[in-house]
Amino acid sequence: MISVRGLTKRYGENLAVDGLTFTVAPGRVTGFLGPNGAGKSTTLRMLLGLDTPTSGDARIGGTAYRRLAAPAREVGALLDPAAVDPGRTGANHLLWLARAGGIGRARVDDVLGLVGLEEVGGRRIRHYSLGMRQRLGIAAALLGDPGVLLLDEPLNGLDPEGIVWTRRLLKGFAEEGRTVLLSSHLMNEMEATADHVLVIGGGRLVADVGLAELVATGAGTRVEAVSPRADELAALLRREGATVDGGRGGRIAVTGADAARVGDLAARHGIPVHELVPVRARLEDAFMALTRGRGRHEGRTGEPGAADANTRKPQGRGMVR
């Protein structure tokens, strides 16, 4: 179990993490999502005692990482797979980590086998592909057979086979009752891997919700319509309060009105419609809808999302935007 309470990190003027409170339960894969600069890595670093919170706290099994008696056996982490000595062999790198963590050398061969690197353990890391380095990083996280796994972008650089393998591994860990928290910007992969998601934007919690529930909220659900008089239809829909994007080739994407409303409106005005397709929201759509205006690159001060994030009421169970 991971618990974070009022976690805040300020770098000078920049409030990187802003009063985050959440728990990560064992027995499921929890995805950690947010636009670039949202504060995911900073949060993970504070969980791992690599950065000190300005206020609030982050605990693993009720204890701050720096106070854990045997951290390597309790928490496995993958932060930056490039942070290795390229002159070492994969096996030596793991052996060095095992020694530092009080873990026996037999476990090195175990984890090399687990991640499919047994054949190349004796090769220097500089000759590893990006995907192999990623697997080595996962092997390092697994060394202490920990109950908690924290993985920052573990799917980066993996080929499709590597992605499927990692997904199975993480799901298997969760099924064994371990706590798994992973960040990834690959939405389709997150959708296929996570059971629950934490979404942050501008350092604040935007959603803490089951994946199925998030998608079912309909955030990001839209209707696509094709009409030779698409501009006219778009103007009518906007007048009715819907949001309309596109228009090229007579194709528009409508949010805020369902297919029946779009079709009825078109019929009332004698506008022919050649296609009318409801598009069910996927994680990516819901994520975009939740975090719009909350990206670091969209500006921290005065951005619409930041201004109202304090005042918005929860919308449905688990939605904290």
Least distance to ligand ATP, CB of residue 187, Å: 13
11 binds ligand ATP (CB under 6 A): yes
- Tell me the site size for ligand ATP, rule CB under 6 A: 12
**Closer residue to ligand ATP in complex, CB, 201/220:** 201
Q: Which amino acid is at 8?
A: T
**Closer residue to ligand ATP in complex, CB, 14/63:** 14
**Closer residue to ligand ATP in complex, CB, 36/63:** 36
31 binds ligand ATP (CB under 6 A): no
204 binds ligand ATP (CB under 6 A): no
Q: Which of 7, 20, 33, 34 binds ligand ATP (CB under 6 A)?
A: 34
82 binds ligand ATP (CB under 6 A): no
| Contact set for ligand ATP, span 105-144 (CB under 6 A) | none
Cβ-contact 319, 209 below 8 angstroms: yes
Candidates 16, 21, 67; CA nearest to 45 is 16
14 binds ligand ATP (CB under 6 A): yes
Q: Which of 2, 7, 16, 262 binds ligand ATP (CB under 6 A)?
A: 16
Residue 26 Cα distances to 29, 150, 172, 186, 190, angstroms: 8, 12, 12, 23, 17
Candidates 213, 228, 246, 234; CA nearest to 320 is 213
Q: Which of 39, 71, 144, 146 binds ligand ATP (CB under 6 A)?
A: 39
299 binds ligand ATP (CB under 6 A): no
The number of beta carbons lying within 10 Å of the beta carbon of residue 67 is: 10
294 binds ligand ATP (CB under 6 A): no
Q: Which amino acid is at 85?
A: D
Least distance to ligand ATP, CB of residue 277, Å: 32
Stretch that binds ligand ATP, among 39-47, 188-196, 234-242, 267-275 (CB under 6 A): 39-47
Burial class (CB in 10 A: 0-12, 13-18, 19+), 249: exposed
Q: Which of 281, 296, 303, 306 binds ligand ATP (CB under 6 A)?
A: 296
The number of beta carbons lying within 10 Å of the beta carbon of residue 202 is: 26
CA atoms within 13 A on the CB side of 209: 27
Alpha-carbon distance of 118 to 127, in angstroms, equals 15
**Closer residue to ligand ATP in complex, CB, 104/302:** 302
40 binds ligand ATP (CB under 6 A): yes
Alpha-carbon distance of 117 to 111, in angstroms, equals 8
Residue 102 Cα distances to 69, 93, 97, 136, 295, angstroms: 11, 14, 9, 19, 41
38 binds ligand ATP (CB under 6 A): yes
Least distance to ligand ATP, CB of residue 50, Å: 10
Please give the full DSSP string across 124-138, using - where no structure is assigned: BGGG--HHHHHHHHH
42 binds ligand ATP (CB under 6 A): yes
Note the residues at the interface with ligand ATP (CB under 6 A): 11, 14, 16, 34, 36-42, 296
